[in-house]
């Protein structure tokens, strides 16, 4: 089941030079499979698109490549033909060109890992003022733990990025039937009279068991102390701006 959330709930904002970042998790309870939304606004004063955007969530967050039924291949991503089953959300971007506002819309897909050890890749495919865009990013566990989405490869355009929003959510439930051998101990009596005695006898039988496993794109940390944290870092050729994230959380 894949759902894309369009409304923000439990908003948390953090400001820094060059922008404001808001993030939400729905639901925001411990260990829950969540829809994640990130919105960045107020990005002005830096000409050109960033060379990379990194979204980092604190240790405790996890992700599974099995959260979608099919992955977008590199060939499909390059031709903007990712299968519907690999879709995980949507994104939008606002830029200005010669003082004029331009809006762009993109669709997010999950793909095979770009680097060994990564969880998966994230492909953003869409258009900006009629110009096709296709970006691929890494979804991985950084050395300090947590979960990081690193988007790079932005085109070199004479525009200024003003805002960016990304919402992702993917959950898949898989069932598997396995056969197990169950051993029961039975007390049996043999013999008669003074030769009568009791002993244990093992009885083996095979039973079928159904195992249900839930795979989520975003799984919240197992504990909550009031808020989870993270950062969004926008890197440009001559500068970088890191915006802190604070996400109110609740115990399940």
pLDDT digits (tens, 9 = 90+) for 42-79: 876 677 788 899 999 999 999 999 999 999 998 998 88
pLDDT of res. 2: 32
User: By mean pLDDT, which of 4-18, 42-56, 155-169 is the weakest?
Assistant: 4-18
In terms of Cα–Cα distance, which of 239, 78, 77, 51 is closest to 157?
Answer: 51
Look at residue 1 and tell me whether its pLDDT is greater than 80. no
Residue 99, Cβ neighbours under 10 Å: how many? 6
**Of 190 and 11, which is predicted with more confidence?**
190
* Whole-number pLDDT of residue 28: 95
Per-residue pLDDT of 72-123, as tens digits, reads: 998 998 888 899 999 999 999 888 887 888 888 999 999 999 899 999 999 9
CA nearest neighbour of 216 among 63, 55, 25: 63
Backbone angles phi, psi at 4, to 5 degrees: -115, 120
Q: Which residue has the higher pLDDT, 199 or 222?
A: 222
Q: What is the predicted pLDDT for the residue at 239?
A: 81
Residue 198, φ and ψ in degrees, nearest 5: -110, 145
Of 29-38, 66-75, 99-108, 188-197, least confident by mean pLDDT is 188-197
- In the chain, domain spans: 12-170+217-248, 176-211
Which is more confident, 185 or 119? 119
167 within 8 A of 35, measured Cβ to Cβ: yes
Place of tokens 């490869």: 153
- Is residue 192 scored above 80 in pLDDT? no
pLDDT of 63 reads: 96
126 pLDDT band, cuts 50/70/90, is confident
Q: How many CA atoms lie within 13 A of 161 on its CB side?
A: 26
The CATH number of 12-170+217-248 is which of 2.60.40, 1.10.8, 2.40.50, 3.40.50?
Answer: 2.60.40
Q: Which two tokens stand for residue 94?
A: 């606002």
* pLDDT value of residue 195: 66
Residues in the chain: 252
- Give the pLDDT score at 208: 73
């Amino acid at each position: 089941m894949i759902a894309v959330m369009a409304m923000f709930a439990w908003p948390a904002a953090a400001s820094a030079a060059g922008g404001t970042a808001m993030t939400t998790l729905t639901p925001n309870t411990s260990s829950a499979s969540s829809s994640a939304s990130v919105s960045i606004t107020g990005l002005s004063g830096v000409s050109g698109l960033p060379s990379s955007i990194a979204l980092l969530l604190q240790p405790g967050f996890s992700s599974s490549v099995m959260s979608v039924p099919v992955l977008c291949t590199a060939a499909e991503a390059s031709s903007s033909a990712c299968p519907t089953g690999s879709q995980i959300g949507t994104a939008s971007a606002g830029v200005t060109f010669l003082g004029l506002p331009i809006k762009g819309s993109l669709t997010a897909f999950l793909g095979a890992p770009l680097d060994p050890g990564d969880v998966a890749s994230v492909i953003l495919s869409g258009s900006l003022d009629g110009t096709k865009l296709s970006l691929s990013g890494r979804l991985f566990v950084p050395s300090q733990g947590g979960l990081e989405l690193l988007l790079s490869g932005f085109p070199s355009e004479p525009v200024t990025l003003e805002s960016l929003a990304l919402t992702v959510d993917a959950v898949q439930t898989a069932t598997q039937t396995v056969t197990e051998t169950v051993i029961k101990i039975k007390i049996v009596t043999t013999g008669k009279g003074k030769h009568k005695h009791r002993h244990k006898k093992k009885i083996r039988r095979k039973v079928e068991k159904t195992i249900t496993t839930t795979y989520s794109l975003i799984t919240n940390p197992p504990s909550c102390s009031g808020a989870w944290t993270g950062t969004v870092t926008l890197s440009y050729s001559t500068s970088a701006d890191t915006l802190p994230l604070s996400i109110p959380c609740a115990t399940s």
